Amino acid sequence: MSRSYCIHCQYPESACVCYALKRVSSQTEVMIMQHPSEVGHAKNTVRLLKLAMPQTRIYVGEVAEDFVELQHYLAAQTKPIYVVYPNEHSQTVAEAGASEAAIIILVDGTWRKAYRMLQLNPWLGDYPSLHLEVEDESQYIIRKAKRSDSLSTLEAAAHTLVALNPNVDVTPIFAVFNAMVQHKLTAMPALVRARYNVDNIKG
C-alpha cells in the first residue's frame, strides 16, 4: 500500500510537520547549493528550511555548470554576498561587518561532498567566507557527522540569520526541525532510539 503524503509539507501524513510550521521573515537572502544526493534524503533539512522560509532559493548540482543560474543571479545583485563555510580566510559576522541586508550561500552535503563542491566551484572564492561561533551542539542527532562541530544546513542558516540580526526570530525554523527529528525518533524501535542522546534535543 502506498503512503499518503501531506499536500502542504510533502511529508508522509503520519510524519506531517504542519502543526509546527510558521513562516520566518528576514531581509537576508538564503541561497542553498545542494548536492544531488541530498535531494531525496529522508533526513534532508533543506526542505524544512524551505517550509519555514519559502523565499529560500535552492540550486541542485555539483560542478560550476550546474550553478550558472545562481551565478547570473548573484552577478546582478548589489547586496554583499557571503559563503557560509569555515576556512583559513573565513571571518565571523562581526569581523566581516556583515548586516542582515546580505545574501548568504550555504553548501548542503556531507563534509566530504561539500568540500568537493567548493573545489569544483572556484567562483565561490570571489566572495568572502563566514564561519559561525556557536556554543551549542547540533540538535541533528538522527544523522551522524564525522566532525563534532558539524551543523545541519538548516541549523547553520538559522544561526547565521541570528548572527546577522539578533532580533530575527528563528524559533519557527527550529520548531519544524525538531518536529521532524521527533517523528523520526518516535518511529524507531526502542532499542535503536536508546542509542541517541534524546535528552539533548531542545524544545
At residue 60, the pLDDT reads: 97
CA angle 33, 122, 47 (to 5 degrees): 5
Report in angstroms the alpha-carbon separations of 202 from 59, 134, 182.
30, 15, 11
Position of cell 569555515?
A: 86
pLDDT tens across 187-199, in order? 555 555 455 554 4
> Treating both helix axes as pointing N-terminal to C-terminal, what angle do 153-164 and 171-187 enclose, rounded to 10 degrees?
160
CB atoms within 10 A of CB 197: 9
In the chain, what is the greatest distance between 2 CA atoms, to the nearest angstrom?
55
Which is higher by pLDDT, 75 or 195?
Answer: 75
Nearest one of 107, 102, 94, 108 to 29, comparing CA atoms:
102
Spell out the domains of the chain, with CATH numbers in brackets: 25-169 (3.40.1280)
Report in angstroms the alpha-carbon separations of 79 from 28, 68, 192.
10, 19, 46
Contact residues for 143 (Cβ-Cβ < 8 A; gap 6+): 43, 152
pLDDT tens across 9-62, in order? 888 888 888 888 889 989 999 999 999 999 877 678 899 999 999 999 999 999
At residue 70, the pLDDT reads: 98
pLDDT exceeds 80 at position 126: yes
pLDDT exceeds 90 at position 125: yes
Nearest one of 1, 22, 2, 4 to 14, comparing CA atoms:
4
Which is higher by pLDDT, 177 or 78?
Answer: 78
At residue 115, the pLDDT reads: 94
pLDDT tens across 134-189, in order? 765 444 443 444 444 478 899 999 999 999 999 999 999 999 888 887 776 665 55
Nearest one of 26, 129, 124, 131 to 75, comparing CA atoms:
124
Report the pLDDT averaged over residues 62-83: 98
- Are the C-beta atoms of residues 156 and 84 closer than 8 Å to each other? yes
Contact residues for 14 (Cβ-Cβ < 8 A; gap 6+): 3, 183
Nearest one of 54, 67, 62, 17 to 35, comparing CA atoms:
62
